[in-house]
Each structure stands twice: as C-alpha cells, then as structure tokens.
Amino acid sequence: MVLFCIGIGEFLTFGATVLMILANIGQLTNNVVSRHIRYVSLTTDGLQSSLRANANGATIDNIYASNQAAPELQGNGIKNEYQWGLYTFCAGQGTSGPRSCADSSIGFRFEPAQVLGQDIGSNYNSTLTSLIGDQTFTDSSYLGRYSHAASYIILIGTILAGLAFLTGFLAHRFAFLLAALLSLGAAALLAVGAAILTAIYYKAIHSLPDNLGLDVNYGNALWFTWASFAACALAFIPYVIGCCTGRSNKY
C-alpha cells in the first residue's frame, strides 16, 4: 500500500517536473522543441492595414521586416509573430520560418507594446501608440512588473517539483513528509505564477481595440504550468499517506 501510494506521488511529481522543464525552455533557442513552446503569442498580420486606415493622410510604407530573422528591438521592422517564453521572446515568420530571439534573462518582462514600438521604428511609433491607445496592452510597467515576478515564482516552483520527485526515492517516512511539503509548496508557487500570467495576458488581450490587426493568444506553456500545479497538488495526498503508514526505517 505504501509503495503504491508513493509510486503515484512519484509519477505525478515526475510528470509535473517534465512539463515544467519544457515550459522553462520555451523560446530559449530555435531548436525544434523550444521554438514550439510559448506562454503567449502575438500575431501582427493586420496591423499595417489598420495603421493605413487610421493614418489621417500620412503615408504608411511597409512596416514589416524584410528579413524576419533580423535582430529584435533595433528598428528592423515588425515581425509576423512574436512568442514569449519564461526568459525571453522570439519573433519571425511563425514557428517553422526564419526567426530570431532576444537575449534571455531570469525575470524576463512581458512588454509587447514596447517591443512593437522598438521594432517598428521611430517613423511609425507615434502612429502605433495613438492607434492602440492608453490600454493595459501598452502599460509596460504593469505587465513587466507582474511578469517579472511570475517568472521567478514559476522557476522556484519548478525546482520544488523536481526536489519532491527526487526526495520520494529516499524510501523513508520522513522523506515522504518532506516530499509532500515540497509538492505542496510547488503547487502553491506554480498556481500563483500561472494565475498572475493568466490574469495579465487576459487583460492585455481584452484591452486591445477591435480590428486593430493584433491577435494575442495563450500558449501551451501556460497550460503546462496549470497542469503541473494540479499534478503537484494531487501528489501531496499519496505522499502524506505514505508518511503516515510507512515505517521510520528504509524499506
């Protein structure tokens, strides 16, 4: 009975750890795995048409980067799609076309309006800002502050989930208690981090004006984080049962 319960706890925390490792590597590189994992994405297909329709007579040339693999934040033009991971973002022609990634860092900030403004260049930046308006999407201070905190919280939650999995191998009732506490802590941190990101993404999505040509979507890494929270929360139960019914010596 004890081994069965611990086996369930180990399976759940192992699954949570694997999912969070995948979520953490999202957009870090252009390899086939990392480039398909993201917390949130932004497509810009209709932005140029919206700018031209609201330019009040001003000439709007091609705002898109002629080279979709050109470096970001240097006025090289808007990319077709932006994808944010936990520590950086990449942009280019979807997930299979040419693209490039910004420098990565722990506590990376989600600041989509600032990214668009630096990519589009000074000629059209003011037009873009006035078109979007004073919305949550353009509030880089708010979005950056909370995404920065969520990045650290999720990283710590990932570490605790991995420690809970490893601690269960010690086959000792007090180790099972520690694994239960670690899984509970991981669940709490992952839930907080995922909730913060879900909330700010939701506000950013619903603050954009209609027919703007920008489309923000939740990414698979966000669902990985929520699933990992659920797995760690469920793992707490079999670990506690193993602690209460197991022996104080190793099996």
What confidence score (pLDDT) does residue 24 get? 97
Right CATH number for 2-245 from 2.130.10.10, 1.20.140.150, 2.60.40.2700, 1.10.10.10? Answer: 1.20.140.150
Q: How confident is the model at residue 247 (pLDDT cuts 50, 70, 90)?
A: low
Task: Write down the pLDDT at residue 4.
Answer: 79
* Angle in degrees, 0-180, between the axes of helices 173-207 and 140-167, rounded to the nearest 10: 160
Q: Mean pLDDT over residues 194-204, rounded?
A: 97
**14 or 75: which leads in pLDDT:** 14
Alpha carbon distances (Å) from 130 to 18, 54, 78, 139, 146: 43, 9, 17, 13, 24
Q: What is the mean pLDDT of the chain?
A: 89
- Report pLDDT digits (tens) over 26-67: 999 888 899 999 999 999 988 888 887 776 656 677 889 889
pTM metric for this prediction: 0.91
Average pLDDT of 140-145?
Answer: 95
Domain boundaries, the chain: 2-245
The reported pLDDT for the residue numbered 121 is 76
pLDDT of residue 55: 65
**Residue 250 clears pLDDT 70, i.e. is over it:** no
The predicted structure's pLDDT at residue 184: 97
Contact 209, 39 (CB under 8 A): no
- The reported pLDDT for the residue numbered 251 is 43
Predicted pLDDT of residue 158: 98
